[in-house]
Amino acid sequence: MSSHSEAPEISKDPVADSTDLYAFISPDSPNKVTLIANYIPRQQPAGGPNFFEFGDDVLYEIHVDNNGDGNADVTFQFRFETKLTDTGANDTFLYNTGQITSLKDATWNRKQFYSVTKQENGSSKILARDLACPPCNVGKNSIPNYATLTNQAIHAIGSTKVFAGQRADGFYVDLGSIFDLGDLRPFQPDFLLKGAAVAGVNSLAATNVHSIAIQVPISELTKGGAVPGTYTDADSTIGVWTTASRQKTKIYSTTPQTNTGPWEQVSRLGNPLINEVIIPMGHKDRWNSQAPKDDAQYSTYYDHPGLASLLNVLYPGAFPNLAAYAAVASNTRPDLDAVLLTGVPPLFPGFQNYTGATKADMLRLNVAIKPTATGAASILGVVGGDNAGFPNGRRVFDDVVSIELKAVAGALLGDVVKTYKPDAAAGLLFDVGSSEPKTVASLKAFGLTYRSDFPYLADPWDGYDNPATQVRAMAG
């Protein structure tokens, strides 16, 4: 999974667990960047009686580095507050006591509000307070028109838009196959323990997450407020990551519990799948507490990725060139460094997102590259010839699992090490479906749809019609 329960400690703290991060040029507003940080993974739609919500005791942040040093130059902070409608003589055990048709309805008992603060150049400014979140999608009887509530929860702050609330999880992955010894279902005939080829399934189908989304003018994120005119401009690329922090001390003897002391980072996310499949188990919790600027300490795990070694064992004979390359101890993986740690230099026509020699795990977005219309977009991003997609930032529909499977298997290594010839199998890898999906429209077969406008992720699955998560039928 992109970052759902990716480390031992944070898996016990889902409210602070960052699941996915997106950064892209807004297709319907190309002078703006949309940043989305998802939290609280694997939400079953039927989540009552205590439905999912952001943590009042968690500091959520989205950071932007605009000079390539792995430090935040712009940070957006989000703090939440929960308020009960029914108290005293009217106190109730219910989340809602009637239909919710407005964010102000008294029938909705447990509301959340939030503030947005911007930090830049050593100063801090509160942009907005008491912004309303939408409710969780209880069911069709309680919420007959969820789309209306979504639109009410999109708040304008000058030229910026924000949204915070429940959404359908737009990420897709076959968790059952990947974490069962990497047995990719479409490739079982080539697997060590051979089986028949079957369609890969979306293990996260019909689950929800909580999203924090902000849409900001490009000039408010770039160095010096520049709006780069071409993708080769020196300051055309920004780095993005999200963190969640908790205060050091929690006092349990009070009601409610109180939290004091300095904030300590407990979760972070830049590129997808790093803490899942690059960082070893014994380092995952510490990795979550570190800053991107210090990621050089983990270089060896990118240079000698464990998954690449496993591919050679689990799929005998499928990756002979990768096996021979990895057998030379001095050989490293400059391709993974470029995609995941430094940004990609100008290797591909019309694309680069190199930010310098500092190794830092950040989504890198070249803001001078125009967005691709959704109908024409390749969910394989740059690998699929679409320079507006991952690893140029990340759009909500990008197939980051397939892209990174191909990359780890060496599909891009020949672009950096000219003497290396990628194995044919490297470019074929994917995990969901019976044949590789390549367009946004093809994802509908897996229960995935997306909005064409902010906040881009679809309305959450409702609890009445989706009483339990289920595997959707997979089409080829």
Q: What is the DSSP string of 338-350?
A: IIIII---S-BTT
Residue 2 has a pLDDT of 54
- State the Cα–Cα distance between residues 58 and 81, nearest whole angstrom: 10
367 and 217 Cβ atoms separated by less than 8 Å: no
| DSSP 8-state secondary structure symbol assigned to residue 16 | G
Which candidate, 398, 430, 393, places its Cα nearest to that of 411? 430
Residue whose entry in the numeric block shows the structure tokens 């993005």: 240
Listed in sequence order, the DSSP H helices in 114-236 are 146-152, 175-178
The token pair at 288 is: 């979550």
Mean pLDDT by 10 residues, the chain (476 residues): 71 95 97 98 93 97 98 98 84 93 96 98 96 98 98 98 98 94 94 94 94 98 96 96 94 79 96 95 96 98 95 95 96 98 93 97 98 97 97 98 97 96 97 96 95 98 80 45
Which candidate, 123, 124, 183, places its Cα nearest to that of 311? 183
| DSSP 8-state secondary structure symbol assigned to residue 316 | T
Amino acid at 367: V
Residues in Cβ contact with 446 at an 8 Å cutoff, skipping those fewer than 6 apart = 172, 202, 205, 432, 433, 437, 472, 474, 475
| β-pair type (123-132, 110-120) | antiparallel
464 and 434 Cβ atoms separated by less than 8 Å: no
Query: In degrees to the nearest 10, what's the CA dihedral of 288, 293, 299, 305?
Result: 40
Sign of CA pseudo-dihedral 434, 393, 285, 298: positive
Residue 364 has a pLDDT of 98
Residue 474 has a pLDDT of 44
Q: In sequence order, what DSSP letters do the residues of 181-201 get, joined into one string?
A: TT--GGGGGGSSS------B-
- State the Cα–Cα distance between residues 435 and 422, nearest whole angstrom: 21
CA angle, 449 as apex, 447 and 455 as ends, to 5°?
140
Residue 260 has a pLDDT of 87
- Angle at which helix 306-314 crosses helix 400-408, to 10 degrees, equals 80
Tens-place pLDDT, residues 367-380: 999 999 999 999 99
Residue whose entry in the numeric block shows the structure tokens 């690059």: 278
* pTM, full prediction: 0.96
66 and 223 Cβ atoms separated by less than 8 Å: yes
Residue 1 has a pLDDT of 44
How far does Cα 213 stand from its chain's mean position? Answer: 11
- State the Cα–Cα distance between residues 205 and 168, nearest whole angstrom: 9
Which candidate, 204, 208, 259, 241, places its Cα nearest to that of 55? 259
How far does Cα 253 stand from its chain's mean position? Answer: 36
Strand arrangement, sheet containing 208-217? 18-25, 32-43, 208-217, 160-168, 155-157
- State the Cα–Cα distance between residues 121 and 163, nearest whole angstrom: 25
- State the Cα–Cα distance between residues 119 and 76, nearest whole angstrom: 6
Q: In 10 A of CB 433, how many CB atoms?
A: 25
Domain boundaries, the chain: 10-446
| β-pair type (18-25, 32-43) | antiparallel
Question: How far is residue 409 from each of residues 285, 321, 399, measured CA to CA in Å?
Answer: 26, 10, 16
Residue whose entry in the numeric block shows the structure tokens 């409610």: 256
Query: Is residue 470 packed enough to be buried (19+ CB in 10 Å), middle (13-18) or exposed (0-12)?
Result: exposed
- State the Cα–Cα distance between residues 320 and 425, nearest whole angstrom: 10
